[in-house]
Amino acid sequence: MVLIHGMEGAIDVCLSYGNYECNQSPPVFGVPLPSFCNMTANCPPLDDFDDGVRSGDSPPFYHNEQVSYTCNNGFTLVGSSSLTCDDGAWNDDQPVCLANCVVSAVPDSDYSSGGSVTHGTTFNVTCDSGFSTGTTRATEFSCNDGVLSPVTLPTCYVLPGVSILLPERVNPYQPSSFTCYARGNPVPEASSVHLYRRSGSNYNTTGITRRSSTVSGSERAVVFDVDSVYPQDFGGYQCRLYFENNTYYSKLITNATYVLPVLESKVEVTSTSTSVGLQWNAWSDGVDIGDPPLVGYDVFAQKDGKWVAVQSVDQPTTSAIVINLTSDTDYIFCVAAVREGTGGTGHVCPSNGTRTHCGKPSASPTGLQVAAINPKELEVKWEHLPTESAECRSGVTHYMIYYVSTGSTSLNSLMVPNDTSSYTLRGLETYLDYTIQLTASNKDEESDRSSETASKTIEEVAPAPINLTIPQITKSSFTVSWSTPLPSNINGNIQKYIIRFKRTDSAVDGDYGMEEVWTSAFDGKHTVTAVLPREMKYTVQARLLDLNT
């Protein structure tokens, strides 16, 4: 700091050395004070900046002025990217731009296309799988102002062996192809590459044929055809290379086939005489065993000890009806889920058995006879239905008797055991016509009804007339009236009435006199016209006669 007493010439001197700033101090007790000049120095010029661009303030560089630096492409800035002038001195050293390194291509490595490495960095060259730089070649390098150290990059040499074995996945036991990629320098011959099915220490080439091969670089791709690809349970597949008196193996492939879907739950069955209905739980990806996608289900039935496919349904249906079956026959069913592709039928679910219902008996009972044995009873007889007509191994289980009286719309029925061929119908109405039919039943079905057979219950002994009166008496005759008991069918077919009479005085003990009145001539009363003594008392009776009297 320089104190100046109002000397303008001195201010000019200050300007020649740097920046200054003068400020007038406030008066003290009314007396002006001298001014003060604060002075800062300029910074020295900067060196030329190669391989980059400097930007910011221009010379002269005053206090607090800044400059910035950026490098051209292919160079890396070493040092601070900006400088600030601080009272005649720069706050840091001036940076420089140093060249990056260009890395040439190293085939079969992570630098197979080459590249650029920043100055000051260290990097490694790593060969691809199946290649190596050898045990004495450097693989770590550093870059210093455009120069690699070490200077010579490595070379990746192919390692003999089998890089990969690729199967075309199929369902178990289906034909497929496998491609074996074998490498070496020189490229291995196709004849030195072999495919085996390996199970433990056993190697099998049955059904495996070498088809073709192609070469790409140092690798030969050999294609094999396999007649039937075995699932994992029977081992796996492996490629083997014989090269320069050494043997090289691929990784064992155990997933050459898809896993067939498995249904865990038992199928549910319901049956009729000629069909069986099946219901099962749907196969679920991620829950049940097997690889998707699922296309449907196959239904199997066991015949002669073998499972036979009887029906197929598409996804997502989970039910089926198997028809045209034999009645009264035992069947066992199971269901398998099916994934896409040939041979995609999976393992069958737990089986379930059923017996179809017996068929309808092919005939009705024959030899039907009906006879009246009492006024309210009919005896029914028939011949047993032959077992072969029952259409059921268990034969006839029972008979059904159907009967109805004339004029009635109410059909009656009752069940009769299969070990009898006659039955007495009781509690019928007297002297009525009945129509009788018979059926035979097995455990599931009933036959058609037999032909109708009609019979009539017999009439009862005619009861005495009722409401007997003598409405008229003359000197030589008397008239008798009466009524017939109701309902009229109780008396059956009434033919005639008999009037009995005799004198009741004690002096005479004679026989009854009788007169007959035919039903066709009866009009509700009858006059006795026999020669009768006058003024005598008589006892009179009326009686009706039917066919049973």
Q: What is the pLDDT of residues 159-208, one digit of tens each?
A: 899 989 999 999 999 999 999 999 998 999 999 999 999 998 899 999 99
Q: What is the mean pLDDT of residues 209-235?
A: 95
Specify the pLDDT at position 283: 95
d(CA 43, CA 46): 9
Is 80 exceeded by the pLDDT of residue 77? yes
Other beta carbons less than 10 A from residue 455's beta carbon = 19
**H helix intervals, 54-114:** none
d(CA 544, CA 542): 7
Q: Which domains does the chain have, with CATH numbers?
A: 2-38 (no CATH), 52-99 (2.10.70.10), 101-158 (2.10.70), 161-249 (2.60.40.10), 268-355 (2.60.40.10), 366-456 (2.60.40.10), 466-546 (2.60.40.10)
Specify the pLDDT at position 303: 81
390 φ, ψ (degrees, to nearest 5): -75, -20
pLDDT band at 4 (very low <50, low <70, confident <90, very high): very low
Specify the pLDDT at position 11: 42
User: Is-contact 421 398, C-beta < 8 A?
Assistant: no
**Tens digit of each residue's pLDDT (9 = 90 or more) over 264-319:** 999 999 999 999 999 999 999 999 999 999 999 999 999 888 889 999 999 999 99
d(CA 279, CA 317): 10
Long-range own/partner contacts, residues 83-92 (CB < 8 A, 24 or more apart) = 83/46, 85/42, 85/43, 85/61, 86/43, 87/40, 87/41, 87/63, 88/18, 88/40, 88/41, 88/42, 88/43, 88/44, 88/63, 89/43, 90/43, 90/44, 90/46
Q: What is the mean pLDDT of residues 330-356?
A: 94
Closest by CA position to 381, among listed 324, 455, 327: 455
**Tens digit of each residue's pLDDT (9 = 90 or more) over 83-130:** 999 999 999 999 999 999 999 998 888 888 888 899 999 998 888 877
Is 70 exceeded by the pLDDT of residue 488? no
Specify the pLDDT at position 248: 94
Give percent of the chain above pLDDT 70. 88
Long-range own/partner contacts, residues 465-470 (CB < 8 A, 24 or more apart) = 465/497, 465/542, 465/543, 465/544, 468/540, 468/541, 468/542, 470/540
Specify the pLDDT at position 332: 94
pLDDT band at 486 (very low <50, low <70, confident <90, very high): low
Give percent of the chain above pLDDT 90. 59
Is 70 exceeded by the pLDDT of residue 440? yes
Average pLDDT over the chain, rounded to whole?
A: 87
**Tens digit of each residue's pLDDT (9 = 90 or more) over 492-547:** 667 788 888 887 775 556 677 888 888 777 788 888 877 666 666 777 776 766 65
Q: What is the mean pLDDT of residues 241-255?
A: 94
**Tens digit of each residue's pLDDT (9 = 90 or more) over 29-39:** 565 555 555 57
Is 50 exceeded by the pLDDT of residue 17? no
**Tens digit of each residue's pLDDT (9 = 90 or more) over 208-218:** 999 999 999 88
- For the chain, the first-to-last Cα distance in angstroms comes to 172
Specify the pLDDT at position 15: 42
Specify the pLDDT at position 539: 77
**Tens digit of each residue's pLDDT (9 = 90 or more) over 407-420:** 899 999 999 999 99
